[in-house]
Structure 1
């Protein structure tokens, strides 16, 4: 899928430029999830960028639980038409609508929850999914969470609640990159078989390579086909932190540091401009 791959490359280029521009932000997880957000916003979701409807009635909605990977979220939103691409240049600057973690009071199109505090996204997504059911809205709710984020207790309350209440219009994806701010997830607090844990709670579980665009699209489409069958759906998505920039790949240090001028040049040399820079 060359067009989607080109979009993902430009989004990765946006990420490193945004974070470098203010010498702050979270490039590692953002780069790893670029293929997923591209597939979601440019292929899989039934959504309406403009005019933006906060309620998301009669369209699919997405909630980013691990809000620190805002660079990839902002780029996907801008590139898919939610707000001008040029606004990416204001990332993390004073009075910007593009804060380090997404917030709602600036009314940035595409942002439906503030997600700076980890662990809350699945719960919010469940609420939105149940609301759609009450409104006879047949569209779906998507949510992305990180594997390090699974250490938050509220996550497990949500994982119990959704199957018990047959929230089968919900698709949760877990970014299994094995890295978090303090090291590998295995060293910080080993998660074991995450997919098996979801399954034992009653979720329908799928697996995908989050850095293979064809697989991402195929598994997301399969997840959509499984919706409405009595179970919430969880996708175990294997990614590489820093994917697309060789010196960042697989290193937890890039969770939340910005590239230097020299490192930016090296990164951009690996990420050709495909849609035009902001």
Structure 2
């Protein structure tokens, strides 16, 4: 008799336990949460707001924002037109200020423009809208930045523009400084065509810009170099692209492409020891000479 009732007792116990779990956990919802949450519960990006400000009291805000099509450079500014008009007036009234527009782009976006990256193309397009036909092109400079923390709604990028203001050094100061040391060398990460920035380099760039803007007939030679990694043919192409990107950078800052001459040297004439990483880093460079 005991052998016949044992399976029934086991089944009854399981039924009672299951009923208790269902009542407490599913109906009353008082069971502990699982230790591993689903991906849908993870934090998501916050929709960016339009907010441009400067330390002198400038504050431009809007409930809407600038929008770009995915893999596109043309901005939709319908939601921020009054603020952009105020920004143009602000720049006109403050000629000692220069605004840096940084366009952002995601790694999975395609660059179908003639610019080095989609971020620069976006910044340049927005610059044209802000300044119009009569604005001073020297008041805005542009750059691009890769970022995979951008906010997309369907196929539309919301925001994607950073703004930085800075004072422009006086022409007399920068010109005199440059005349005593006219050459500038820009260095590059391995296999890259965008040069590395630093506070010291950016200061020298401003000196070069002031010097060349004051002397539009001045010719500049951009000589590109690489380290010894890779074939001769590859390094010649890479050094040429580096020099071309430096020219494009200065042209975006208001100089004429006619002022520049590009020379590609590849891995020739190393200034550092190619047997060390430090030496190879010294060799990945573009030299500006006057």
Above 0.5 in TM-score? Answer: no
| TM-score, length-scaled by structure 2 | 0.26
**Higher-helix-fraction structure:** 1
**Higher-strand-fraction structure:** 2
Larger Rg computed on CA atoms: 2
Higher relative contact order (CA 8 A, sep 6+): 1
| TM-score, length-scaled by structure 1 | 0.27
